[in-house]
Amino acid sequence: MSFQYTDEQLNFLNRGYNVYSVNQDFVDRKIKEGEKYQYIVDKPDDKLLPNEENKIKTPDGQQFKVVKTCSDPRTGFDGMAVAPIVDGEPDYSSVAVVAAATDIMTIDAVTAVFGDIDLNRNNGYYLSPQYQVADAFVQEVLDDERVKQVTQLSGYSQSAYVLKVGAKYGIPTTTFNAWFHYGSLSKEEKEFIKSHPGLFIDYRKTDDNVVALGPGNDPTWSGYDESLGTIYWTAGTSHDITDWVFDEKTGRVVDAKTGKTIMSGPATVFAQSARQMEQFNSLKSKW
Protein backbone atom coordinates (compact mmCIF):
# COMPACT_ATOMS: atom_id res chain seq x y z
CA MET A 1 0.00 0.00 0.00
CA SER A 2 1.30 3.48 -0.88
CA PHE A 3 2.25 5.93 1.83
CA GLN A 4 -0.73 8.07 2.88
CA TYR A 5 0.06 11.73 3.58
CA THR A 6 -1.80 13.31 6.49
CA ASP A 7 -3.21 16.85 6.44
CA GLU A 8 -0.72 17.83 9.13
CA GLN A 9 2.26 16.59 7.10
CA LEU A 10 1.09 18.43 4.00
CA ASN A 11 0.41 21.60 5.96
CA PHE A 12 3.90 21.47 7.47
CA LEU A 13 5.54 20.94 4.06
CA ASN A 14 3.71 24.09 2.84
CA ARG A 15 5.38 26.30 5.44
CA GLY A 16 8.20 28.82 5.14
CA TYR A 17 10.94 26.66 6.61
CA ASN A 18 10.17 24.04 3.98
CA VAL A 19 8.87 24.67 0.46
CA TYR A 20 9.48 28.45 0.53
CA SER A 21 13.10 27.73 1.42
CA VAL A 22 13.92 26.25 -1.98
CA ASN A 23 14.20 29.93 -2.91
CA GLN A 24 17.68 31.16 -1.96
CA ASP A 25 16.63 34.83 -1.88
CA PHE A 26 13.83 34.00 0.56
CA VAL A 27 16.23 32.23 2.91
CA ASP A 28 18.83 35.00 2.61
CA ARG A 29 16.18 37.54 3.60
CA LYS A 30 15.05 35.51 6.58
CA ILE A 31 18.63 35.08 7.78
CA LYS A 32 19.21 38.85 7.53
CA GLU A 33 16.08 39.30 9.65
CA GLY A 34 17.73 37.16 12.34
CA GLU A 35 15.73 33.98 11.78
CA LYS A 36 17.25 30.48 11.64
CA TYR A 37 16.45 29.25 8.14
CA GLN A 38 18.20 26.63 6.03
CA TYR A 39 18.33 26.26 2.25
CA ILE A 40 16.18 23.34 1.11
CA VAL A 41 18.02 21.53 -1.70
CA ASP A 42 17.82 18.31 -3.70
CA LYS A 43 21.53 17.50 -3.41
CA PRO A 44 22.93 14.15 -2.21
CA ASP A 45 24.25 14.07 1.36
CA ASP A 46 27.92 14.27 0.33
CA LYS A 47 27.31 17.45 -1.70
CA LEU A 48 25.56 19.48 1.01
CA LEU A 49 27.08 22.84 1.91
CA PRO A 50 26.83 24.49 5.34
CA ASN A 51 23.25 25.54 6.11
CA GLU A 52 21.77 23.31 3.39
CA GLU A 53 19.27 20.53 4.12
CA ASN A 54 17.88 17.78 1.88
CA LYS A 55 15.50 16.18 4.39
CA ILE A 56 12.43 17.49 6.21
CA LYS A 57 10.99 16.09 9.44
CA THR A 58 7.33 16.71 10.22
CA PRO A 59 5.97 17.08 13.79
CA ASP A 60 4.86 13.43 13.87
CA GLY A 61 8.46 12.29 13.34
CA GLN A 62 8.06 11.32 9.68
CA GLN A 63 11.05 12.23 7.50
CA PHE A 64 10.92 13.18 3.83
CA LYS A 65 13.73 13.21 1.29
CA VAL A 66 13.81 16.21 -1.04
CA VAL A 67 13.77 14.73 -4.54
CA LYS A 68 13.65 17.83 -6.71
CA THR A 69 13.22 21.60 -6.32
CA CYS A 70 12.21 24.47 -8.59
CA SER A 71 12.41 28.23 -8.10
CA ASP A 72 11.32 30.46 -10.98
CA PRO A 73 12.23 34.15 -10.54
CA ARG A 74 10.01 35.27 -13.43
CA THR A 75 6.69 34.10 -11.95
CA GLY A 76 7.73 33.58 -8.33
CA PHE A 77 6.93 29.86 -8.40
CA ASP A 78 8.70 27.82 -5.72
CA GLY A 79 8.10 24.11 -5.42
CA MET A 80 9.58 20.83 -4.31
CA ALA A 81 9.03 17.11 -4.69
CA VAL A 82 9.54 14.92 -1.63
CA ALA A 83 9.50 11.21 -0.92
CA PRO A 84 8.68 9.74 2.52
CA ILE A 85 11.55 7.83 4.09
CA VAL A 86 10.25 4.35 4.89
CA ASP A 87 12.51 1.74 6.55
CA GLY A 88 15.45 4.06 6.02
CA GLU A 89 14.94 4.56 2.26
CA PRO A 90 13.03 7.12 0.17
CA ASP A 91 9.75 5.68 -1.11
CA TYR A 92 9.74 6.88 -4.71
CA SER A 93 6.34 5.27 -5.30
CA SER A 94 4.75 7.86 -2.98
CA VAL A 95 6.18 11.19 -4.09
CA ALA A 96 4.41 14.46 -3.26
CA VAL A 97 4.82 17.78 -5.07
CA VAL A 98 4.25 20.90 -2.95
CA ALA A 99 3.94 24.44 -4.34
CA ALA A 100 4.61 27.49 -2.16
CA ALA A 101 2.19 30.37 -1.92
CA THR A 102 3.35 33.59 -3.57
CA ASP A 103 6.08 35.42 -1.66
CA ILE A 104 5.25 39.03 -2.46
CA MET A 105 8.80 40.10 -1.53
CA THR A 106 10.26 37.88 -4.26
CA ILE A 107 8.31 39.21 -7.25
CA ASP A 108 6.54 42.46 -8.06
CA ALA A 109 2.88 42.93 -7.16
CA VAL A 110 1.79 43.18 -10.80
CA THR A 111 3.13 39.69 -11.55
CA ALA A 112 1.44 38.31 -8.43
CA VAL A 113 -1.95 39.95 -9.00
CA PHE A 114 -2.44 39.70 -12.77
CA GLY A 115 -2.98 36.18 -14.00
CA ASP A 116 -2.48 34.04 -17.06
CA ILE A 117 -4.11 35.75 -20.07
CA ASP A 118 -4.52 32.63 -22.24
CA LEU A 119 -8.26 31.92 -22.43
CA ASN A 120 -7.53 28.33 -23.45
CA ARG A 121 -5.99 27.83 -20.01
CA ASN A 122 -7.95 30.15 -17.72
CA ASN A 123 -11.41 29.75 -19.31
CA GLY A 124 -12.11 33.43 -18.61
CA TYR A 125 -11.23 33.30 -14.90
CA TYR A 126 -8.19 34.30 -12.87
CA LEU A 127 -5.34 31.75 -13.03
CA SER A 128 -1.96 32.38 -11.45
CA PRO A 129 0.93 32.91 -13.90
CA GLN A 130 2.74 30.29 -11.82
CA TYR A 131 0.37 27.58 -13.07
CA GLN A 132 2.37 26.86 -16.23
CA VAL A 133 5.62 26.51 -14.29
CA ALA A 134 3.93 24.24 -11.76
CA ASP A 135 2.50 22.09 -14.56
CA ALA A 136 5.94 21.76 -16.16
CA PHE A 137 7.55 20.97 -12.80
CA VAL A 138 5.07 18.17 -12.06
CA GLN A 139 5.77 16.74 -15.51
CA GLU A 140 9.50 16.95 -14.82
CA VAL A 141 9.02 15.03 -11.57
CA LEU A 142 6.87 12.43 -13.31
CA ASP A 143 9.63 11.99 -15.91
CA ASP A 144 12.37 11.56 -13.29
CA GLU A 145 13.69 8.01 -13.64
CA ARG A 146 13.79 7.58 -9.86
CA VAL A 147 10.13 8.46 -9.41
CA LYS A 148 7.71 5.54 -9.73
CA GLN A 149 4.61 7.59 -8.95
CA VAL A 150 3.46 11.01 -7.79
CA THR A 151 0.62 10.31 -5.36
CA GLN A 152 -0.04 13.75 -3.86
CA LEU A 153 -0.05 17.45 -4.73
CA SER A 154 -0.48 20.24 -2.20
CA GLY A 155 -0.58 24.02 -2.12
CA TYR A 156 -1.55 27.00 -0.01
CA SER A 157 -3.23 30.30 -0.85
CA GLN A 158 -2.44 31.29 -4.45
CA SER A 159 -0.69 27.98 -5.12
CA ALA A 160 -4.08 26.25 -4.85
CA TYR A 161 -3.85 26.21 -8.66
CA VAL A 162 -2.38 22.75 -7.97
CA LEU A 163 -6.05 21.66 -7.90
CA LYS A 164 -6.08 22.28 -11.65
CA VAL A 165 -2.76 20.48 -12.11
CA GLY A 166 -4.04 17.54 -10.07
CA ALA A 167 -7.22 17.30 -12.12
CA LYS A 168 -5.18 17.36 -15.33
CA TYR A 169 -2.85 14.54 -14.28
CA GLY A 170 -5.26 12.61 -12.07
CA ILE A 171 -3.23 13.18 -8.89
CA PRO A 172 -4.92 13.58 -5.46
CA THR A 173 -4.60 17.15 -4.22
CA THR A 174 -5.00 18.88 -0.84
CA THR A 175 -4.93 22.67 -0.40
CA PHE A 176 -5.23 25.18 2.44
CA ASN A 177 -6.71 28.73 2.38
CA ALA A 178 -7.24 28.48 -1.37
CA TRP A 179 -7.02 31.66 -3.47
CA PHE A 180 -8.35 29.85 -6.53
CA HIS A 181 -10.96 30.36 -9.24
CA TYR A 182 -12.69 27.07 -9.98
CA GLY A 183 -13.91 28.62 -13.19
CA SER A 184 -10.40 28.22 -14.58
CA LEU A 185 -10.88 24.44 -14.65
CA SER A 186 -11.57 22.96 -18.06
CA LYS A 187 -14.72 20.90 -18.63
CA GLU A 188 -12.61 17.73 -18.60
CA GLU A 189 -10.90 18.72 -15.33
CA LYS A 190 -14.25 19.41 -13.66
CA GLU A 191 -15.61 16.08 -14.81
CA PHE A 192 -12.57 14.26 -13.45
CA ILE A 193 -13.01 15.88 -10.03
CA LYS A 194 -16.74 15.07 -9.97
CA SER A 195 -16.13 11.45 -10.92
CA HIS A 196 -13.36 11.00 -8.33
CA PRO A 197 -14.81 12.20 -5.00
CA GLY A 198 -12.33 12.20 -2.15
CA LEU A 199 -9.25 12.81 -4.31
CA PHE A 200 -9.46 16.62 -4.07
CA ILE A 201 -9.64 18.37 -0.68
CA ASP A 202 -9.78 22.16 -0.37
CA TYR A 203 -9.66 23.27 3.30
CA ARG A 204 -10.95 26.82 3.83
CA LYS A 205 -11.79 29.32 6.57
CA THR A 206 -15.29 30.84 6.40
CA ASP A 207 -14.04 34.42 6.83
CA ASP A 208 -10.48 34.21 5.52
CA ASN A 209 -9.26 37.81 5.65
CA VAL A 210 -6.95 37.48 2.63
CA VAL A 211 -9.12 35.38 0.32
CA ALA A 212 -11.84 37.98 0.99
CA LEU A 213 -9.72 40.51 -0.95
CA GLY A 214 -9.49 38.33 -4.06
CA PRO A 215 -11.84 35.55 -5.15
CA GLY A 216 -13.90 36.05 -1.98
CA ASN A 217 -15.13 33.62 0.64
CA ASP A 218 -18.13 32.69 -1.49
CA PRO A 219 -16.44 30.41 -4.05
CA THR A 220 -19.50 30.42 -6.34
CA TRP A 221 -18.42 33.93 -7.36
CA SER A 222 -15.33 32.41 -8.97
CA GLY A 223 -16.87 29.43 -10.69
CA TYR A 224 -17.34 26.81 -7.96
CA ASP A 225 -20.39 24.61 -7.94
CA GLU A 226 -21.34 22.24 -5.15
CA SER A 227 -21.28 19.21 -7.43
CA LEU A 228 -17.48 19.41 -7.32
CA GLY A 229 -17.62 18.62 -3.60
CA THR A 230 -14.05 19.61 -2.84
CA ILE A 231 -14.37 22.40 -0.24
CA TYR A 232 -14.32 21.61 3.49
CA TRP A 233 -15.05 24.61 5.72
CA THR A 234 -14.13 25.59 9.26
CA ALA A 235 -14.75 28.83 11.14
CA GLY A 236 -11.97 31.40 11.18
CA THR A 237 -10.50 34.56 9.72
CA SER A 238 -6.79 33.74 9.63
CA HIS A 239 -4.97 33.14 6.35
CA ASP A 240 -1.85 31.91 8.17
CA ILE A 241 -0.78 28.40 7.12
CA THR A 242 0.22 27.68 10.73
CA ASP A 243 -3.28 28.48 12.08
CA TRP A 244 -4.72 25.04 11.50
CA VAL A 245 -5.38 22.44 14.19
CA PHE A 246 -4.90 18.71 13.65
CA ASP A 247 -6.12 15.57 15.36
CA GLU A 248 -3.25 14.05 17.34
CA LYS A 249 -4.01 10.50 16.25
CA THR A 250 -4.95 10.90 12.60
CA GLY A 251 -3.24 14.15 11.59
CA ARG A 252 -6.50 15.33 9.98
CA VAL A 253 -7.76 18.92 10.11
CA VAL A 254 -9.94 19.64 13.15
CA ASP A 255 -13.01 21.90 13.02
CA ALA A 256 -12.51 25.07 15.08
CA LYS A 257 -15.99 24.91 16.64
CA THR A 258 -16.62 21.22 17.27
CA GLY A 259 -13.07 20.04 17.93
CA LYS A 260 -13.75 17.08 15.64
CA THR A 261 -12.10 16.27 12.34
CA ILE A 262 -13.74 18.09 9.44
CA MET A 263 -13.79 14.91 7.40
CA SER A 264 -15.66 12.19 9.26
CA GLY A 265 -14.16 8.77 9.83
CA PRO A 266 -16.15 7.10 7.03
CA ALA A 267 -15.40 9.99 4.66
CA THR A 268 -11.69 9.74 5.43
CA VAL A 269 -11.70 5.98 4.82
CA PHE A 270 -13.57 6.51 1.55
CA ALA A 271 -11.10 9.21 0.45
CA GLN A 272 -8.12 7.00 1.28
CA SER A 273 -9.66 4.07 -0.58
CA ALA A 274 -10.34 6.29 -3.60
CA ARG A 275 -6.77 7.54 -3.57
CA GLN A 276 -5.35 4.04 -3.26
CA MET A 277 -7.48 2.84 -6.16
CA GLU A 278 -6.35 5.77 -8.31
CA GLN A 279 -2.73 5.01 -7.40
CA PHE A 280 -3.23 1.34 -8.29
CA ASN A 281 -4.82 2.21 -11.63
CA SER A 282 -1.97 4.63 -12.38
CA LEU A 283 0.64 1.99 -11.63
CA LYS A 284 -1.27 -0.65 -13.61
CA SER A 285 -1.25 1.62 -16.66
CA LYS A 286 2.56 1.54 -16.59
CA TRP A 287 2.80 -2.26 -16.57
pLDDT in tens, the chain (287 residues): 679 999 999 999 999 999 999 999 999 999 999 999 999 999 999 999 999 999 999 999 999 999 999 999 888 999 999 999 999 999 999 999 999 998 877 665 555 555 555 565 766 677 888 999 999 999 999 999 999 999 999 999 999 999 999 999 999 999 999 989 999 999 999 999 999 988 999 999 999 999 998 778 999 999 999 999 999 999 999 999 999 999 999 999 999 889 999 985 544 544 555 555 555 455 445 54
The predicted structure's pLDDT at residue 104: 73
Distances, alpha carbon 63 to alpha carbons 66, 111, 210, 253, in Å = 10, 34, 31, 20
Q: What is the pLDDT of residue 256?
A: 86
Q: What is the pLDDT of residue 287?
A: 47
Predicted local distance difference test score (pLDDT) of residue 145: 97
> In the chain, what are the helix, strand and coil shares in percent, each to the nearest 5?
35, 20, 45
Give the pTM. 0.90
Three-state DSSP at 188 gives helix
Q: Which CATH class is domain 7-284?
A: alpha beta
Q: Half-sphere exposure (CA, 13 Å, Cβ side) for 92?
A: 10
Helix (H, G, I), strand (E, B), or coil: what is residue 162?
helix
CA distance 71 to 251: 29
pLDDT at 44: 96
